[in-house]
């Protein structure tokens, strides 16, 4: 599933540079969309073009006003997991703040309710709306962030340890024995007899 990442630029040359930078990451023309001002273009036509690049209708209509003001929009269909790199590439070229959209407008306040205010300067990235709203990072460089957060032990190069009750630990030594559990409990290992159960109870077996 692709992540649609959109940035608005005040200058067309910066938008072109941003699109070129993203393409160095391996994205092609079918994944990078540039929408700029066109003489005599109607808002509906601009919004339709933006919608074709993957933007939601409310976002496309709001951003169409920016295009009519002479600004240029770059949208990238980033592969899952590649959104951080694509975003970093686009943000190198000083995008401007995105306008408020109908989808991000504050809801009407009912009696006794709290009003949630969405910041209009939040950059558009419909792939991670909850992360954007709560200011959570989408991709993290730490490979063990969850373990760090809960202070859980992680795998290491040292001898592994087994955690026992009451916080006690003991080292677990690796063994070359291919059947340590069977040997510990005296269980029989695999044997050459293809019908051990039948042999044990003297049951007949299928024959040719």
Question: Using CA atoms, how far apart are residues 3 and 82, in angstroms rounded to an integer?
Answer: 8
* Residue-level pLDDT at 204: 85
Whether the model clears a pTM of 0.75, i.e. scores above it, the answer is no
The HSE-up count of residue 192 (CA atoms within 13 Å, CB side) is 0
Structure tokens of 93?
């070229």
- Check: CB of residue 50 under 8 Å from CB of residue 73: yes
pLDDT tens digits, one per residue of 138-173: 665 566 767 777 777 776 544 445 555 555 555 555
* Residue-level pLDDT at 202: 85
DSSP one-letter string for 106-167: PPPPPTTPPPP---TTSPPBTTSHHHHHHT--SS-S-TTHHHHHHT-----SSPPEEE-GGG
Which sequence spans correspond to the domains of the chain? 3-103+118-134
* Residue-level pLDDT at 186: 78
15: left (phi over 0), alpha (psi -120 to 50) or beta: alpha
* Residue-level pLDDT at 70: 94
Q: How many residues does the chain have?
A: 208
Question: Using CA atoms, how far apart are residues 135 and 137, in angstroms rounded to an integer?
Answer: 7
74, exposed or middle or buried, with CB in 10 Å at 0-12, 13-18, 19+? buried
* Spans in the chain with pLDDT lower than 50: 102-125, 157-160
**Around Cβ 129, how many Cβ atoms within 10 Å?**
14
């Amino acid at each position: 599933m692709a992540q649609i990442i959109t940035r608005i630029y005040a200058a067309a040359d910066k938008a072109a540079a941003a699109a070129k930078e993203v393409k160095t990451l391996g994205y092609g023309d079918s994944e990078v969309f540039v929408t700029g001002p066109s003489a005599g273009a109607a808002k509906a036509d601009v919004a339709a073009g933006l919608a074709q690049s993957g933007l939601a209708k409310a976002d496309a209509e709001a951003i169409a006003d920016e295009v009519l003001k002479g600004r240029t929009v770059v949208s990238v269909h980033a592969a899952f997991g590649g959104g951080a790199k694509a975003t970093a590439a686009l943000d190198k070229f000083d995008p401007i703040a995105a306008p408020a959209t109908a989808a991000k407008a504050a809801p009407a306040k009912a009696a006794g309710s709290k009003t949630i205010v969405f910041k209009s300067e939040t950059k558009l990235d419909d792939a991670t709306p909850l992360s954007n709203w709560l200011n959570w990072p989408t991709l993290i460089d730490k490979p063990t962030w969850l373990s760090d957060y809960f202070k859980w032990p992680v795998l290491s190069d040292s001898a592994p340890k087994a955690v026992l009750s009451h916080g006690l630990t003991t080292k677990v030594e690796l063994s070359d024995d291919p059947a340590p559990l069977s040997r510990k409990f005296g269980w029989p290992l695999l044997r050459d007899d293809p019908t051990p159960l039948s042999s044990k109870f003297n049951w007949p077996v299928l024959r040719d």
